[in-house]
Amino acid sequence: GGVSNRVLLVTAGNLFLEQVYSVLPGVEAFKAAPDAALDPDFDLYVFDGVPLPDPPPAADLLLINPQPGSAGLLDFGGIFTDTVAVRLADSPLLQFVDWRAVSVRQAQAVSAPWAQPLVQAEGGPLLLTGERGGHRIAVITFDLRDSDLPLQIAFPILMANITGWLSPGRAFDAPTGLQPGDPVSITPGASTTTVVVQKPDGSTWTSAVAEDTAPLFAETAQPGLYAIRLRDSQGEQPAGQFAVNLFSAAESAIRPRDAVQVGQAAVQTAENNNIGQRELWPWLLAIATLVLLVEWWVHHRGARLPKWTLHE
């Protein structure tokens, strides 16, 4: 935990986007002009009303008001104005957003074989998502300024949902200098159904995600690199790596452990207090959502993102 996603917003200027990305938790956002050279070291690229470079960045993408010539990712069918939402997918990305209350002046009629519409209007989709080449892509088919969506309280929540799905970041708490046998706490997102850990020898450990329990991975006997992947209803997404090695400055530490992992079982010490193990994340999520809404309104009048410049 504690690792921010680096997001690059490529736009000619959109105050709504700048404001929302300035307050999203777990995001370090930068802004670049449409004609700027793009640095490759970002987790997510947001293209607002500009064509994609060809080839597009090898990362997750959010396309807003996509334009023809977007590296062949989308098929364009013109502009449509019949934008009242008539069909909504059952998706966590749409939580707390009443799309039937959103007014959109016009949108781009786009489609792609890899994309599924989450919000469908009579004239075409308003929101699509999918995966292509191992990376997730979301498409909002209209200019935010052609709608009242940014003026609604649901806007920062929608953007947080989309950004979290596109680039979930590091979903585990693994300090540097992990020793064989050290457990790793995994904290997947709300839509995750299964956690998969690939061990250094290529074998995998799989755990279903329970509603009230965060998975604890303790099969770290092998030195080497471990890779974590998260599965949800729309596929599988890499969530980071951690290393286990035999060398540590704390090798001589003799502090007693609360539990010793023996195979699949954890042997507890005689003294045990389960109160400290109660899951707090549902309450923390509610608090974080409230803070996000407050910050959205506080920053609504003037937040700006730093410009991204390449250093020679």
Which listed CATH number (3.30.420, 2.60.40, 3.30.2300, 1.10.357) goes with 172-270? 2.60.40
pLDDT tens digits, one per residue of 65-111: 999 877 788 999 999 999 999 999 988 888 888 888 899 999 999 99
Highest mean pLDDT among 90-94, 276-280, 285-289: 90-94
CB 185 within 8 A of CB 173: yes
Is pLDDT above 80 for 187?
no
Please report, as a single letter, which amino acid is at residue 311. H
Give φ, ψ of 149 to 5 degrees.
-55, -45
Element (H, E) at 281: helix 281-298
> What is the reported pLDDT for 201?
92
Q: Considering the entire predicted model, what is its pTM?
A: 0.60
pLDDT of residue 283: 65
Q: pLDDT at residue 275 above 80?
A: no
Q: Over the stretch 230-252, which tens digit does the pLDDT of each residue have?
A: 887 777 877 777 788 775 544 43
Task: Indicate where the chain has its CATH 2.60.40 domain(s).
Answer: 172-270
Mean pLDDT for 120-133 is: 92
Q: For residues 106-133, b (16+ Cβ closer than 10 Å) or e, as one string?
A: bbbbbebeebebbbbbebbbbbbbbbee
- Work out the average pLDDT over 256-261: 55
pLDDT of residue 71: 74
Average pLDDT on 279-290 reads 63
For every residue of 206-272, DSSP letters joined together read EEEPBTTB--EE----S-EEEEEEEEETTEEEEEEEEEE-S--TTTT--PPPSEEEETTEEEEPS--
Positions of CATH 3.40.50.880 in the chain? 5-167+289-298
Q: Is the pLDDT of residue 280 over 80?
A: no
| CATH no. of 5-167+289-298 | 3.40.50.880
Which stretch of DSSP H or E encloses residue 19? helix 15-23
